[in-house]
Structure 1
Amino acid sequence: MKSALKNYKAIAHLVDARRLLAADAISKAGDWILYVAMSVLVFEAGGAGALSMFTALRVVVPFVLGPWAGRWGAALPPRTMMIIADAARAGLLFLAAAAAAADQSAWLLVGLVVGCASVSAFHAPAERRFQRDVIESEQRASFNAVIGATGTTVIVVAPALGGLLTTTVGNVGALVVDAASFLLSLVFVASVRTPSTAAAADPAQLEPAAPASGISKGALTTAVRSMRKDPAVMACVMAQAVACTVAGASLVLMPLLGDRLQAGDGAIGWLTAAVGTGSVVGVLIGGSMAKQGRLLLCVTSVVSMGVILGLLGSSPNLLVALLCAALVGVAANIPEPMYWTSYADRVSENDSSSFYGLVESSITGGFALGGVILGAAVAAMGTSTGTWVVGVVGSVLATAAFVPALRHHRVSSARTGSRSPVVNVAENTS
């Protein structure tokens, strides 16, 4: 808790950082409110088939577009891209509210959701680029810890807020409120000062221009190149993808576990809230680890996540399940600040657009893939055995992801530098 307070104090006096935090929280809340309200509307208008299509497309579209959306979005300054994306999402949601009020086809609603998901694929990489531009390198670990904590808090609060809105103002009203939230996010983003003036005053801060051959390469090629030339970045991306896959599996496990324990319909809500609470705690702990370069502890947390998932699936009662669910959240999110700090410090400006797009795709795809894998494993082997198999495989993959970085780090552990430990770890792996 002490380190968490230090992180907040380090960021609280920065006006632009506060605005970025507000914009991020509002945007994430808008995504969740959209999911809650639109799920009900699509189901009422088109039944289970339309709902399945809606659920799949809102995940698949950002996953597929990720690297290319990041690359194409680099044609504009990141703040401009974020403003355009927020305005577009608000407009699409106003159209969705009008369509729902007029009892239009469910497939029109699904099409509008696909439009929102496509725009979001451009927004996420631009947001990460803008945060890196605005936040100084020595403050990134603290900022990543704080934004991770606020983001995971939103994950806990926003679905409940979405349910409250649909109950009080209806699904159409919730969409209108959601559209307004994206406009509010736009206002916060527009109020952040662009770093271009400071960079112009100090030419040393400017990134070198990308070589012509680099510009001509594809988005996916550029993103993969960024990982291959730095083992620490490669390890972080792979471990983050594994962690998201296990996290996605844990979310699908909730209703299955509630049914096995005969804990009632409320068990899903309690278990999800436990994961969210643990996620907040994990990010707060991870903030200090990112600044101190405790790579091994971050690795341990990801590896242990799979074992905890197995324990969660084997829980004998709801109390143990709640504890395991909270630990899943903690283990998954302890390395989060280290991931993003490492990316910001190690990935060049020329490669960042495609790279952040690929990272966002791996996060989205990991959550979706985890649910599919766990569902298949449970169907084949039962809840307890299937969960253990998925968890152990996840732990093995996470360990394999970090082996190269840990090997190089151990060999050159005597080497020190003045920059952040995460950067030194990355340099030692070069």
Structure 2
Amino acid sequence: MTGSHISTLRAGTKHALSAHRDPDVRRWLAAYAFSMLGDSVYYLALSWAAVQAGSPAQAGLVMSVSALPRAVLMLGGGVIADRLGPRRVVIGSDAVRCAAVLAVAALLFLTSPGLWPLALLALVFGTVDAVFMPAVGALPARIAEKSQLARVQGMRGLAIRFASVVGAPLGGLGVAVGGAPAAFALAGLLIAVSVPLLMSVRMRDLPADDRTPAGGGDPAAPHHGTTPWSDLKAGLRYVRRHRVLGPLMLAIALGDLGFVGPLNVGLTLLADRRGWGASGMGWVLAGFGVGAGAASLLLTVRGRLPRAGLVTGYAVIVGSVAMGALAYVPALGAAVGTAVLVGLLTGLSGAMCGALLQTQADPAYLGRVTSVSSLVSLGLAPLSMPLAAAAIGTWGLGPVYVVSATVCGLGGVVALAVPGLRRAELPG
């Protein structure tokens, strides 16, 4: 039997498999879960070690160091993911993060060097994240069929929820057993597990039209002979001119800008002024997590929702109304119920946006497309947090929540108003 025949049989088998039965998808999902679990433990260890080694202001500075390289380099990271191939970039990123965390764990175990290694580690993480995140976004389309990408987004969402729920207690256990060095070592080992799992994942070939011409390189890389700068400009031009991706990026930007402030800064102040305390805020956050997890589970089970663009628009608008109402709910139980609804609708709209991005984008551009959405969500949206805090101090919680909900809801209006996005469907 020829090698090409074997490849054809494998392609046919993969095409027939649902995502949750596909061994490559399962290995990728396990790798992603371990990587995210390591991230959760790492952030807890970093915050603990920074507080122990310096003042609260210094600790806050260390925790924010990674934001700058992540925002500045994110678009370039998308170019790297497309040029080198997402699987290779994700493996390299996890290997670098693992080595950096274990090195700091050893340094903290042997000496007391102060804050500088923690700041350096945060800088390395932020730099690596700038290439890791676009590559992670581009990888599912190279593993699963388009008809399975919505289900993959649901499975990915469940992995993120699992990591957020389990990671904090694991990190706390590591700190309790052996301090920050033990927690960092645990984070490094968890990230290390992802590397061999990713190495065992087989990539799907791209359609012939998406491959590079003669000259070698990864099949998903941009055309041979181009420069990284021209690749970046081509990617931005591709997003801007695309009938679905362009308005989708605007909808994502508006949704994130309106959502981040009330969820982070606003919720803390809301719990304080309502007298719910830290435990009450924890219950509200848990409600949000339950709702978002339910949305991920829905997509995992269903695999596809019809009229994806329309569902996304309505989910954003109704979720925005629920978020705005949160500021006016007096009782903790009602606030938790509202948070469940917010989590369900925003989790659903977020997963649908991710699935539309995955299925609408040419695979050869997915790293760059993902880098644009990641820059909006992780680079620009956090800037709204200090603005939200200042606005709440001036005008109060209610007006700021209403304005934020309006901004968020405009993302849904864009999804409904632009015909290309409103009529967008996920492949069946």
Partner of 2:248: 236
2:166 is the alignment partner of 1:153:
no
Partner of 1:92: 100
| Whole-Å separation in 2 of the counterparts to 1:423 and 1:120 | 30
Name the stretch that deviates more: 376-385 or 287-296.
287-296
Shift of 1:284: 3.0
Deviations 1:238-272 (A, max 9, x none): 22233333442212222212211212221232222
Please state whether the residue corresponding to 2:18 is helix, strand or coil: helix
| Whole-Å separation in 1 of the counterparts to 2:91 and 2:304 | 30
Partner of 2:235: 223
2:65 is the alignment partner of 1:25:
no
TM-score, normalisation: structure 1 = 0.85
Deviations 1:300-344 (A, max 9, x none): 111223222221122202112211222221121112332233222
Deviations 1:80-108 (A, max 9, x none): 21111111101110122133331112132
Please state whether the residue corresponding to 1:231 is helix, strand or coil: coil
Change (3 A) 1:58 1:37: same
Change (3 A) 1:254 1:343: same
Q: Tell me if structure 2 keeps the 8 A contact 1:69–1:122.
A: yes
| Whole-Å separation in 1 of the counterparts to 2:146 and 2:422 | 24
| Whole-Å separation in 2 of the counterparts to 1:367 and 1:275 | 19
| Whole-Å separation in 1 of the counterparts to 2:400 and 2:351 | 31
Of the three residues 193, 200, 203, the one matched with 1:191 is 200
Please state whether the residue corresponding to 2:94 is helix, strand or coil: helix
Please state whether the residue corresponding to 2:426 is helix, strand or coil: helix
| Whole-Å separation in 2 of the counterparts to 1:205 and 1:213 | 17
Name the stretch that deviates more: 101-110 or 204-213.
204-213
Please state whether the residue corresponding to 2:184 is helix, strand or coil: helix
Q: Which amino acid aligns with 1:364?
A: L
Of the three residues 271, 277, 286, the one matched with 1:264 is 277
Percent of residue pairs identical? 22
| Whole-Å separation in 2 of the counterparts to 1:143 and 1:389 | 33
Q: Tell me if structure 2 keeps the 8 A contact 1:314–1:384.
A: yes
Change (3 A) 1:138 1:396: closer
2:146 is the alignment partner of 1:142:
no
| Whole-Å separation in 1 of the counterparts to 2:346 and 2:306 | 19
Q: Tell me if structure 1 keeps the 8 A contact 2:89–2:131.
A: yes
Partner of 2:183: 174
| Whole-Å separation in 2 of the counterparts to 1:57 and 1:337 | 29
| Whole-Å separation in 2 of the counterparts to 1:164 and 1:247 | 32
Shift of 1:218: 4.3
Q: Which amino acid aligns with 2:240?
A: R
Deviations 1:320-372 (A, max 9, x none): 22112222211211123322332222222332222221222222125513423
2:80 is the alignment partner of 1:72:
yes
Change (3 A) 1:49 1:107: farther
Change (3 A) 1:373 1:327: farther
Partner of 1:4: none
Q: Tell me if structure 1 keeps the 8 A contact 2:158–2:297.
A: yes
Q: Tell me if structure 1 keeps the 8 A contact 2:150–2:426.
A: no
Please state whether the residue corresponding to 1:95 is helix, strand or coil: helix
Q: Tell me if structure 2 keeps the 8 A contact 1:71–1:354.
A: yes
Structure 2's unaligned 5+ residue stretches are: 1-16, 214-221
| Whole-Å separation in 2 of the counterparts to 1:241 and 1:54 | 27
Partner of 1:11: 19
Q: Tell me if structure 1 keeps the 8 A contact 2:99–2:188.
A: yes
| Whole-Å separation in 2 of the counterparts to 1:326 and 1:166 | 31
Q: Tell me if structure 2 keeps the 8 A contact 1:87–1:186.
A: yes
Change (3 A) 1:408 1:298: closer
Q: Tell me if structure 2 keeps the 8 A contact 1:246–1:305.
A: no
Partner of 2:211: 207
| Whole-Å separation in 2 of the counterparts to 1:349 and 1:368 | 28
Deviations 1:51-96 (A, max 9, x none): 2212322333222211111212433232221111111101110122
Partner of 1:415: none
Q: Tell me if structure 1 keeps the 8 A contact 2:326–2:339.
A: yes
Equivalenced residues, count? 401
Of the three residues 356, 360, 363, the one matched with 1:346 is 360
Shift of 1:171: 2.0
2:426 is the alignment partner of 1:422:
yes
Name the stretch that deviates more: 354-363 or 290-299.
290-299
| Whole-Å separation in 2 of the counterparts to 1:320 and 1:46 | 40
| Whole-Å separation in 1 of the counterparts to 2:421 and 2:209 | 32
Change (3 A) 1:407 1:89: closer
